[in-house]
Amino acid sequence: MTAHEQWTFGANDPDFMGWVTFVAYFLAAAVCYACSRRLKRDETDAGNGQPRAFWRITALVLLLLGFNKQLDLQTPFITGAKQLAHAEGWYSIRRTVQWLFVGGLGATGLALVAWSMWKLRRARYEYGLAWVGLVFLLAYVVVRASPVEHVNRVLGWNLSRVSGKRHVLELAGLSCVGIGAAVELIRRRESGGSSA
């Protein structure tokens, strides 16, 4: 087991940028949740409370990703998958399995973003920045889930050594989602929308 695979329950990304990003997740989630509370239950501009559900689900996703930022729960999952691959005799094709998993993760994430864009198509301008942010966060998750040495080769980054670069997509995505939610919240307040 490598040093990267040794996991403990607690802060697993304790450097300055790790904590900044951790806090950013919760700030963005709080703004998304506040935005959802501002919307009426019977929202009609995009149909049947869908904007409210969009912001609530986005807040929940950011909250879960925020906790994972420090808990780093993918590390024990990866370690367990490697042990299973050894035990079941398919370790030699682990790269194929990893890429299938990463591809499935990316495709599922894109499908969910596309689905929300279709459901909220009448309000596409109001949610554009949030969708861009979600795509950035999805890209970050896919990059982090990809085998690091292959990502290093493709992108020319050293994700294991350069901490600043691995936070660029993450912080850009959080900024877009948070600003998008804040703009929508301000717009709702100015237009007289009330809390549910």
pTM value?
0.76
- Across the chain, mean pLDDT equals 79
Confidence grade of residue 40 (pLDDT, cut at 50, 70, 90) = low
Q: Do residues 117 and 124 make contact, with C-beta atoms less than 8 angstroms apart?
A: yes
Confidence grade of residue 87 (pLDDT, cut at 50, 70, 90) = confident
**pLDDT higher than 60, residue 44:** no
Of 165, 24, 5, 17, the C-alpha closest to 72 is 5
